Amino acid sequence: MSSPIVKLILQRLALGVLLLLAVSILIFVGTEILPGDVAQSILGQSATPQSLANLREQLGLDDPAYVRYFRWLGGLLTGDLGNALTSGLPIASAISGRLANTLFLAATAAVIAVPLAILLGLLAVRYRNGPIDKAISAFALASTSFPEFFIGYLLVYFFAVKWQIFPAISTVFDGMSFWERLQAVALPATALTLVVLAHMMRMTRAAILNVMQSAYIETAELKGLRPLEVIRKHAFPNAIAPVVNVVMLNLAYLIVGVVVVEVIFVYPGMGQYLVDHVTKRDVPVVQAVGLIFAAVYIILNIVADIAAIVANPRLRHPK
């Protein structure tokens, strides 16, 4: 790997670390201004002022905000996410299983959405401006127009209530077989697939159409190659950088954007865990989950940038 590539990659990594630090500050400040009192939510409305004051002192809530931030940041750097205020249990142990569930759900949706989006994008380019292209574009527009919760409720109504093919509540637990887990996440994975499929397909189509205007594509067509061969051998390989970029961005969304879908299907993942503890104003849990989501999003964006750098000679040699 040449020196310019290494330099660009190191720059992206350093920028990612700084961005994650800035996000940690925003998350801490955002949780600080949340309404409500965690001590009140733990002890209840009948708690006396003295007991509330004692609990705040015990939890360290009376310390200045900057002291609590650096204490929290120091714990993160040593792998300690802290304890949940409402239960007193370590957050890391509670999150590990839920993070695995969220990653399984996102991976299931990605395995379906990525190849299907690329295939539909290639078909749209092959039959551009024809009935197939228009049908695919109409499907993409309709899928983009509907929010996740609306798609989720439609899937529940038809596939769980009316036809009773899949369960309405996606319950997973230790000991389930792989196929039982797939059946449990079928509806939330379908909802996530429909959400990201349209964007990936449209970007794939746009990237390939941009390459199709190049002179070497015209040369390949003049040689008598069939349109599908021109796309497969010449257009798609040269459009792979923007396609990889948009795929990575949507993979990041699959992991970070699961909150609404997990709540709809009562799926025991990170999103459901976050919402449960926001209602309890359990600040350490909200901070930990928010930072994990931010870290995943930033890491996948860095991977997308690095893939674009490696695949694009103009980025490898910016001068």
The reported pLDDT for the residue numbered 155 is: 93
How many Å from the N-terminal Cα to the C-terminal Cα in the chain?
18
pLDDT in tens, 180-194: 999 999 999 999 998
In this prediction, what percent of the chain has a pLDDT beyond 70? 93
Burial class from Cβ neighbours inside 10 Å (0-12, 13-18, 19+) for residue 114 reads: buried
| Torsion angle defined by CA atoms of residues 26, 27, 29 and 33, in that order, rounded to the nearest 10 degrees | 130
* pLDDT exceeds 70 at position 312: no
- Label residue 245 by pLDDT band (50, 70, 90): confident
**106: which 2 tokens?**
């996102």
pLDDT, mean over the chain: 83
- DSSP for residue 214: S
b/e for 29-55, b at 16 or more Cβ within 10 A?
eebeeeeeebbebbeeeebeeeeeeeb
Q: At what angle do helices 283-311 and 270-279 cross, to 10 degrees?
A: 150
pLDDT in tens, 20-46: 999 999 998 888 777 766 676 667 677
* pLDDT exceeds 50 at position 109: yes
**302: which 2 tokens?**
């860095």
The reported pLDDT for the residue numbered 116 is: 92
Is 257 strand, coil or helix? coil
Burial class from Cβ neighbours inside 10 Å (0-12, 13-18, 19+) for residue 314 reads: exposed
| Domains present along the chain, CATH in parentheses | 92-285 (1.10.3720.10)
* pLDDT exceeds 60 at position 175: yes
The reported pLDDT for the residue numbered 264 is: 92
- Label residue 102 by pLDDT band (50, 70, 90): very high
The reported pLDDT for the residue numbered 61 is: 73
The size of the chain, in residues, is: 319
- Label residue 303 by pLDDT band (50, 70, 90): confident
The reported pLDDT for the residue numbered 1 is: 47
Is 124 strand, coil or helix? helix
Write phi, then psi, for 273 (nearest 5 degrees).
-60, -40
Q: Which is higher by pLDDT, 281 or 116?
A: 116
What is the C-alpha separation between 274 and 267, in angstroms, rounded?
12
Query: 44-53, 141-150, 169-178, 278-287: which has the minimum mean pLDDT?
Result: 44-53
The one-letter code for the residue type at 68 is R
pLDDT in tens, 208-227: 888 877 777 778 777 777 87
What is the rounded radius of gyration, in angstroms, for the C-alpha atoms of the chain? 24
The reported pLDDT for the residue numbered 85 is: 77
